[in-house]
Amino acid sequence: MWTWYASRAAGLVSLVLLSGSVLLGIGGVTRAASARWPRFAVQRLHRNLSMLAVAFVALHVLTAVLDGYVPISWLDVLLPFTSAYEPWWLGLGTVALDLLLAVLVTTSLLRVRLGLRAWRAVHRAAYACWPVAVLHGIGLGGVDTTTWWVLTLTLACVAAVGVGLVRRTAVGTRP
């Protein structure tokens, strides 16, 4: 039973970490910096926070499958919309995970090999990953979704990233 709570908790922590990661990534593109927060600090925090988010997403997925209270197979982890349990909402989580893995592999392992153009093309999947992951959380959260603090947390993350995206559109595609 603890795995169920662990999965829920890890999912919420992932929401916060992924939102922070997206915001810091946008901060890199918009060249956000101050005397106390030089650009390399923003970038390094973006990278470290992303790695932490990947760890919590992994925990979230592992505990969800191992818990066994609802039937989620290992195939459902990577193959979207095929699960017996909530195929649509769980499938969104699977899509988000696939996108996250694509971003993880290209960013941390293949960035130098791919070159900037291809790297950026794949890294943009993060902008699709985040909203899909949020929808997955809202749709699958059940009673938890409407708990006041979960709702507040979700709305705060959406608002923060929304503001970030507005600022992001103000700058072009120059690296």
Partner 1 sequence: MRLRVDPVACAGHGLCADLLPEGITLDEWGYPLLDPLLDPLLDAEIPADLLPHARAAVAACPALALRLDPTGPDDRRHGRNRRSR
Contacts of 125 (CB under 8 A, 6+ apart): 99, 102, 103
Closer to partner 1 by Cβ: residue 38 or 162: 38
Distance separating alpha carbons of residues 119 and 58, to the nearest angstrom: 23
Closer to partner 1 by Cβ: residue 117 or 169: 117
Out of 31, 66, 88, 110, the residue judged to bind partner 1 by CB under 8 A: 31
Query: What residue type is assigned to position 88 of the chain?
Result: W
Distance separating alpha carbons of residues 145 and 48, to the nearest angstrom: 28
Per CB under 8 A, does 37 bind partner 1?
Answer: no
Per CB under 8 A, does 121 bind partner 1?
Answer: no
Identify which of 2, 14, 12 has the alpha carbon closest to the alpha carbon of residue 68. 2
Out of 116, 121, 156, 163, the residue judged to bind partner 1 by CB under 8 A: 116
Per CB under 8 A, does 11 bind partner 1?
Answer: no
Per CB under 8 A, does 71 bind partner 1?
Answer: no
Query: What residue type is assigned to position 111 of the chain?
Result: R
Binding site for partner 1 (CB under 8 A): 28, 31, 38-40, 43-44, 111-112, 115-116, 119, 174-175
